[in-house]
């Protein structure tokens, strides 16, 4: 049977958020056929410090497709977004991967304008729950907040409404 899962390019915050909620990044491996991490995202994650949330889970996930060359980012993306978000969008466009995982509002807006499909940390968790993974959305929200990951009231309402 062919693999019908999509490929995805992910930003830094979703990697951290999923790691603090689940303890590892295996959920991405289960849900997506290919998980691409631009060099700029890996550098951002490592820039938080070796003991920071998500770094250990990132290092243990040797199946992630970590790019080893910097993205050639268009001036529009480079002047609009931080390096991580810009590299995620540029990589998705360059590799013809229509799905990106970005949590920040500005990055999501530019990704939409670039014709990409979006998900975020909460979207990944909802998808996992819908596919039978034992994910508690309220607990996930609490863990993210405990680790300083900001979630808008709108995102929290959406998550709680779509958890089943």
For the chain, give the percent of residues with pLDDT over 90.
77
Phi/psi at 93 (nearest 5 deg)?
Answer: -65, -45
Where along the chain do its domains lie? 7-161
pLDDT of 49 reads: 61
Q: Write down the CATH number for the domain with range 7-161.
A: 3.40.50.1010
The residue to which tokens 């990106």 are assigned? 100
Nearest to 140 by CA among 88, 84, 155, 31: 155
HEC sequence for the chain: CCCCCCEEEECHHHHHHHHHHHCCCHHHHHHCCEEEECHHHHHHHHHCCCCCCCHHHHHHCCCCEECCCCCCCCHHHHHHCCHHHHHHHHHHHHHCCCEEECCCHHHHHHHHHCCCEEECHHHHHHHHHHCCCCCCHHHHHHHHHHCCCCCCHHHHHHHHHCCC
pTM: 0.93
Please write the tens of the pLDDT for every residue from 21-73: 999 999 999 999 999 999 999 999 988 665 677 889 999 999 999 999 999 99
């Amino acid at each position: 049977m062919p693999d019908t899962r999509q490929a995805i390019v992910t930003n830094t915050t979703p990697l951290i958020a999923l790691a603090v909620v689940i303890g590892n990044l295996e959920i991405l491996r289960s849900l997506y056929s290919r998980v691409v991490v631009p060099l700029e995202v890996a550098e951002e994650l490592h820039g938080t410090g070796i003991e920071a949330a998500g770094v250990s889970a990132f290092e243990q996930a040797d199946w992630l497709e970590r790019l080893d060359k910097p993205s050639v980012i268009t001036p529009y993306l480079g002047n609009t977004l931080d390096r991580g978000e810009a590299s995620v969008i540029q990589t998705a466009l360059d590799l013809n991967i229509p799905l990106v995982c970005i949590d920040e509002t500005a990055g999501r807006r530019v990704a939409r304008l670039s014709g990409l499909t979006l998900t975020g940390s909460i979207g990944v968790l909802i998808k996992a729950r819908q596919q039978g993974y034992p994910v508690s959305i309220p607990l996930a929200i609490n863990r993210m907040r405990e680790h300083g990951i900001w979630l808008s009231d709108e995102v929290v309402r959406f998550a709680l409404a779509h958890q089943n």
